[in-house]
Amino acid sequence: MDKSRTASKRRFGALGILGASLFAIAVIVQPLYRTDREFSDPFSAYAVGPYGWVQTAAFVALSLGSFALVVGLQRRRTEVGAWQTGRVLMAAWATGVLLAAIFPIKADVSAPIHMLASMLSFLAIVTANVRLIERVRAGCQVGVVWW
């Protein structure tokens, strides 16, 4: 793998880690200062009310980080089977998370869109992981270069 391609994969990998990390920080910190929410509320509920922009930004960060991983996992040669399917499903996950950010879970028209996008994106990420793991177990080199 040439140096420019390696550097590009590192950048996309770092963006994926950054997006997931920002989401994790938001999920951990919000229950500490959000007195309008119960600890047992789903993450999506934090996008409504005061400081709702924090959860919305966390969803956007997770989505962009996931899209970065989709790009970073691109292979040089033609993709087939499990690897391509896994990347497509990961892109569906990233799209669903972005839709969850755009349509918060409020008691209006956006709630059904949010819930449908969330359910489909969770199904997509679980299936994507299974498909990608199948390919890695079959001996495919992942192609993401870490530091």
Tell me the H-state helices in the chain: 3-33, 52-72, 81-102, 110-137
Distance of CA 38 to CAs 7, 46, 82, 115, Å?
43, 10, 40, 19
Q: Is residue 25 part of a domain?
A: yes
* DSSP letter assigned to residue 79: P
Q: Is residue 144 part of a domain?
A: no
Q: With cut-offs at 50, 70 and 90, classify the pLDDT of residue 147.
A: very low
d(CA 1, CA 76): 9
Q: Is residue 143 part of a domain?
A: no
Model pLDDT for residues 80-133, shown as the tens digit of each residue: 677 788 889 999 999 999 999 999 888 788 889 999 999 999 999 999 998 888
Model pLDDT for residues 55-90, shown as the tens digit of each residue: 999 999 999 999 999 988 876 555 667 778 888 999
* Domain with 68 in it: 3-137
Distance of CA 126 to CAs 58, 60, 92, 115, Å?
20, 19, 11, 17
Q: Is residue 145 part of a domain?
A: no
Q: With cut-offs at 50, 70 and 90, classify the pLDDT of residue 143.
A: low
pTM: 0.84
pLDDT at position 101 = 93
Q: Is residue 121 part of a domain?
A: yes
Model pLDDT for residues 25-37, shown as the tens digit of each residue: 999 999 899 888 8
How many domains in the chain? Answer: 1
Q: First and final CA of the chain: distance in angstroms? A: 15
